[in-house]
Amino acid sequence: MRTASTPTSRSPEGRGASEASLVDAAYAALRSDIIAGRRRPDERLRMERLRTIYGIGVTPLREALQRLAADGLVVATGSRGFSVARLAAADFADLNRARIAVETAALRLSIPAGDDDWEADVVAAAYALEKQDRLLQSGEADLERWEAANARFHHALVKACGTEWLLRVRQNLQDQCERYRRASIGAERRARDLMSEHREIARAALARDVAATCALVEAHFQRTGEGLDGFLTEPAAATRPSRGGLASG
């Protein structure tokens, strides 16, 4: 016999947990697809179509879209609903400035605090990324693997900063920049030796040279912006199909 305290799927607690899980699932799926370019800039996010694509109801989808609007990945258009945020040169320049400020702040805290485990993680992440950079130079890169290795490397450098709020803000900026990189697959870019750039950053960090590491990372991110200058024009960049790719950073 069920007692009053036994949770069931019909209890208020059960319904609340289920709805929260659906919102989280919708948020994660939409966020991933927007960053990867599967949901294109300026695309209208119509509820009926999203229900068909993701198999999730309107209420969780709407809550997920509101969260994505707070992240800056979705724009609320009043009575017209929601659309994917467009890509724009001015926005990326602002984003890149913020990213550099947050990344270097995290590095200044992380590098002096990093212990032996931090060093081991940086070495391992740098090694994995160097393999992907080499494949990139030869034209054989799997872009999904490169993105994962790149994200792991930059996270390893800052993970010892000791502040979850800083890491959370940093992650959002990282995701926003990844969206721009992936959308720029067809853009003309300046030739770059990413393997050397990443190697120099890792070497400076492991030497505990905070100033050098910050300077190298700042230059690294600035080159990304320079490489996208020709691509990020309005409104062309907002409407160009996205196929998933990278510039760097």
Range 116-136 average pLDDT:
95
How many structural domains comprise the chain?
A: 2
Residues 55 and 73 in one domain: yes
Local confidence band at 185 (pLDDT 50, 70, 90 cut-offs)? low
> For residue 192, what pLDDT is reported?
77
Express each pLDDT in 41-89 by its tens digit: 999 999 999 999 999 999 999 999 999 999 889 999 877 789 999 988 8
**Long-range contacts (CB closer than 8 Å, 24 or more residues apart) made by 29-35:** 29/54, 29/56, 30/54, 30/61, 30/64, 30/65, 30/68, 30/74, 31/68, 31/71, 31/73, 31/175, 34/68, 34/73, 34/74, 34/84, 34/85, 34/179, 35/73, 35/175, 35/178, 35/179, 35/182
Residues 25 and 121 in one domain: no
The pLDDT score that the predictor gives to residue 229 is: 67
**In which residue are the tokens 């900026």 written?**
173
Beta carbons within 8 Å of 89's beta carbon, 6+ residues apart: 229, 232, 233, 234, 237
Point out the domain boundary residue: 36, 54, 84.
Answer: 84
Mean pLDDT of 1-10: 37
What is the pLDDT, as a whole number, of residue 138? 82
pLDDT digits (tens, 9 = 90+) for 15-51: 455 778 999 999 999 999 999 889 999 999 999 999 9
pLDDT in tens, 203-228: 999 999 999 999 999 999 998 877 77
Domain boundary among 51, 84, 117: 84
Local confidence band at 246 (pLDDT 50, 70, 90 cut-offs)? very low
Is 165 contained in some domain?
A: yes
More confident residue, 201 or 1: 201
Pairing of strands 74-76, 82-84: antiparallel
Q: Give dist(CA 206, CA 111) in Å, integer.
A: 8
Q: What's the CATH code of the domain at 186?
A: 1.20.120.530
pLDDT exceeds 70 at position 238: no
- The residue whose two tokens read 């605090």 is 113
CATH of the domain at 59: 1.10.10.10
Of 54, 84, 114, the domain-final residue = 84
Please say if the pLDDT value at position 14 is more than 50: no
Report the C-alpha dihedral over residues 78, 82, 83, 89, rounded to 10 degrees: 60
Q: Report which of 162, 173, 73 is spatially closest to residue 115, judged by C-alpha positions.
A: 162
Confidence tier at 241 by pLDDT (50, 70, 90): very low
Going by pLDDT thresholds of 50, 70 and 90, the confidence category of residue 9 is very low
CB distance 32 to 69 below 8 Å:
no
pLDDT in tens, 136-180: 888 777 888 998 999 999 999 999 999 999 999 999 999 898 888
Residues of the domain holding 195? 89-239
The model's confidence at residue 231, banded by pLDDT at 50, 70 and 90, is low
Per-residue confidence (pLDDT) for residue 230, from 0 to 100: 62
